[in-house]
Amino acid sequence: MLKGKNAIITGASRGIGKAIAIKFAENEAFVGVNYFKSHNEAVETLNKVREYSDGILLRADIGKYEEAKNIVQRFVKERGKIDILVNNAGIYKRQSFRYMNEEQWDKTIETNLKSCFNMCKNVLPYMKKGKIIFISSQLGLKGSSHGADYSASKAGILGLMKSLAIELAPDIKVNAVAPGTIDTDIIADYTKEQRRRRETEIPLKRIGLPEDVASVCLFLASDLSDYITGETIIVSGGLYMR
């Protein structure tokens, strides 16, 4: 579905980003695997990508504008153009607003939201036609009792997505995916009882897999979604509906 396409995926060393990178490679895209600290995991992702297609590692703290610019230029030097950008990189530290400090707030906004600005600004000169996909969250739609910084950043992503969808149409389609509870590092500290309770709350009766999100991203990155822009697809097993 993506044969001949060039894709950059941020935060692709593990979790949802890794699943997207592999899914895109399975569909014959060339994949730029962005990561910052998790080098060994990023190498594992790239090795898996190369079982199906090809790709390169792009190490950068994309919350910093110049670092984002550098990896985009490196990718373009390698491939000539960019067809798909998936803004996936993010952090989430459970903390009530009452006890949250300024440093945590700033870091979350920088990593989750400003990184999207940095990547989009630097990718657009090399994307004449293409797809931009943002990974938001159900918490960006409904709020959170233990992560106002995360919820705000993910809501901001949706505002940015809609604005770019209007501004960049018709040549570039811009959409978002809002995952619910997905089996990644974010819920690694769940107890068995917490997992069981969450599974009973989800209408589809299971916690989501990174591959569930990756499949929706594949659809949005492919020609099958060519008449869709400015939309948010919720992947929560029915946990959050609107």
Residues taking part in catalysis: 150
pLDDT, the chain, mean:
96
CATH code assigned to 6-235: 3.40.50.720
The long-range contacts involving 201-205, CB below 8 angstroms and separated by at least 24 positions, are 201/239, 202/236, 202/237, 202/238, 202/239, 203/237, 203/238, 203/239, 204/237, 204/238, 205/237
Neighbours of 192 (CB within 10 A): 7
pTM recorded for the entire structure: 0.95
The percentage of the chain sitting over the pLDDT mark of 90, rounded to a whole number, equals: 92
Q: Please give the order of strands across the beta sheet that includes 84-87.
A: 54-59, 30-35, 6-9, 84-87, 130-135, 172-179, 232-235
The encoded tokens of residue 9 equal 């995926």
* φ and ψ at residue 86, rounded to 5 degrees: -115, 110
**Segment 96-124 mean pLDDT:** 96
> Which pLDDT score is estimated for 177?
98
> Which pLDDT score is estimated for 93?
87
> Which pLDDT score is estimated for 186?
84
